Chain A
Amino acid sequence: MARISADRLTLGYQRQIILRELSLSLPEGKMSVLVGSNGCGKSTLLKAMARLLAPWQGRVLLDGKDIDRQPTRHVARTLSLLPQHPVAPEGISVRGLVRLGRHPHQSWLSQWSERDEAVVEHALALTDLTDMAERRVETLSGGQRQRAWIAMAVAQDTPLMLLDEPTSFLDMAHQMEVLDLLKRLNVESGRTIIMVLHDLNLACRYADHIVAVRNGSLHAQGTPHEVITREQVKAVFQLECRVIEDPFFQVPLCIPFGREAPE
């Protein structure tokens, strides 16, 4: 059962076509990761699924209906989005930022309810930011800042979360921290998580489902073992590598060779 799917989607910017007639369904309740080389169209696909980009042809279906024909506020109660490199408003506190996530649940009549307050507190606690709630976002470290943005998406309280490269520019420890947090959200509250990642090995560790995009079309999808093989990595990334079994986590581990191939 898929809540979100792409139906013969053709996407592009200005005159340049990026993605051609791509159809895709992403499994509910799982962590899905889109991978592919730079410029292959994976981020563009994620943007279209988040209705940031209008398709040239085809549709994005959310719960079986065209996402562009549903009221945006209604969509925002089902689907949240963390874009690439978001910039917080000047001077805003962590709590202030997380509160913005409640926007689709508020209306003229019900401005700020106890439920809103409870969800915000929960999101802060989950992301370990309760002690920093009054601090200004610009004073946080990169990892903390990314957690604050994730907390905002969590406060939006949606069954689906889309994240565009949530670990870029973070050091290794902070990357793990963010991915552990997302895994927790997936396991504990059954949220469907769909994200773009660059690191294949992190994708293998955390994804239930991997989608490999190559040259604007779907190259392969399935479990990490099905998708991350020597042949497919070569096809998708034009990269020589060997794939071995991760001795600790029993997932594929990709060792890139680059120019200096052994033997």
Chain B
Amino acid sequence: MTPYRFWPVLVWLFGLLVAFGISLMAGPQWSGPLTVWHALWSSSPGDINELLIRTTRLPRALTAMAVGASLGVAGGIMQTLTRNSLASPGLLGINAGGLFVVVSLTTLAGSLPGWVGSFGAIGGAAVAAAVVWGIAMRRRDEAGPLRLILAGAALTALFNAFSQALLVIDQQGLDSVLFWLAGSVSARPLAQTWPLMLLIVAAVLGCGPCLRQWNVLAAGEAVAVGAGVAIRRLQGVSILLVVSLAGAAVAMAGNIAFVGLIVPHLARRLAGADHRRWLPMAGLIGATLLILADVAARTLIAPREVPIGVMTALIGVPFFIGLIRREGSRGG
């Protein structure tokens, strides 16, 4: 076996640490590295800056990291599962389903405690994915992935139509769900998000046994069956992992598009076709990208904030187009 080259992973791991550090320093008033260090390791209760770092910036950086990694990995799994490089977690109706539940709950009950929203979102995401999966995979043939994409698009449109109808009827609800619509990693204390983070860690670890099977699946369903992959089980487990990862991401940060689509492409360009190499890379890149996007989001027009979904698009799109162009000229 060709030796596993660790250095690209190490480089990105280092990049992630740097980004994490910057995120703790960044704000309307930047803190120095020393302040950050003190805030993390030796708490002096009176210091307002250190308090800010511990209670606001740290949860925020952790959320961005977890959400970015989840979306990167979940997007990668979806692209392998559907053999479609334009697939993303949103395709399963996960975002739309989560959002619809949040909007419905808000309309029915007024403002919600954070954890109800979180669990509602993840529940809606799971139900949407289950329905899409049920429609697409009921029959055992090769058109499953295509039906998955079509059913996902249809269900997304349906849920979004419901959400919009509810929001038109109940205008006040709009403010309280704007957070989910535009996506945000702010203002979620760790006390609320730690179960979701645990879910993400569990799902990421759960990817381990699937990596080699995904390598075979990437050559097509028929080839995978021929090589002895238990295809229905692998597909089921993969969907479960995607729902856990992307569902938790939606529950934590709302609708952050684009990361799940582009990050797997970057990872494959950098690390090659082997899932054991590029999928961890997708997690690292996603985490780094979202942390940096969040830093930019809250510093560019401080003290106001740009929605993070806007930032991921602003950073991601030119990067992506550049890569496609370079790839094109190399091929031609």
A87 near B268 (CB under 8 angstroms)? no
* One of A77, A82, A108 near B228 (C-beta < 8 A): A77
Asked if A75 meets B218 with Cβ closer than 8 Å, knowing A13-B141, A14-B139, A106-B212, the reply is: no
Number of A residues whose C-beta is below 8 Å from B? 41
| Number of residue pairs A-B, CB distance < 8 angstroms | 87
Stretch touching chain B among A93-101, A168-176, A200-208, A247-255: A93-101
Contacts of A52 in B (CB 8 A): 142, 222, 225-226
B273 near A86 (CB under 8 angstroms)? no
Per-residue 0/1 for B264-308: is the Cβ within 8 Å of any A Cβ (1 yes, 0 no)?
000010001110000000000000000000000000000000000
A91 near B228 (CB under 8 angstroms)? no
A100 near B227 (CB under 8 angstroms)? yes
B139 near A156 (CB under 8 angstroms)? no
Nearest residue (CB) in A for B271 is: A91
* One of B227, B273, B274 near A76 (C-beta < 8 A): B227
Asked if A91 meets B268 with Cβ closer than 8 Å, knowing A13-B141, A86-B220, the reply is: yes
Contacts of B142 in A (CB 8 A): 52
Taking the closest CB of chain A, its distance from the CB of B258, in whole angstroms, is 20
From 1 to 58 in chain A, residues with beta carbon under 8 angstroms from any chain B beta carbon are 13-14, 50-54
Per-residue 0/1 for A70-109: is the Cβ within 8 Å of any B Cβ (1 yes, 0 no)?
0011111101111100111111110011001101101010
Taking the closest CB of chain B, its distance from the CB of A123, in whole angstroms, is 14
* One of A13, A82, A88, A108 near B226 (C-beta < 8 A): A82
B230 near A51 (CB under 8 angstroms)? no
State whether the Cβ of A257 lies closer than 8 Å to any Cβ in chain B. no
Contacts of B272 in A (CB 8 A): 91, 96
Taking the closest CB of chain A, its distance from the CB of B24, in whole angstroms, is 36
5 extra A-B contacts, CB within 8 A, seeds A14-B139, A77-B228, A90-B273: A13-B141, A50-B225, A53-B141, A89-B273, A117-B1
A residues at B contact (CB < 8 Å): 13-14, 50-54, 72-77, 79-83, 86-93, 96-97, 100-101, 103-104, 106, 108, 111-112, 117, 152-153, 156, 162
B residues at A contact (CB < 8 Å): 1, 83, 85, 139-142, 209, 212-213, 215-216, 218-220, 222-223, 225-230, 268, 272-274
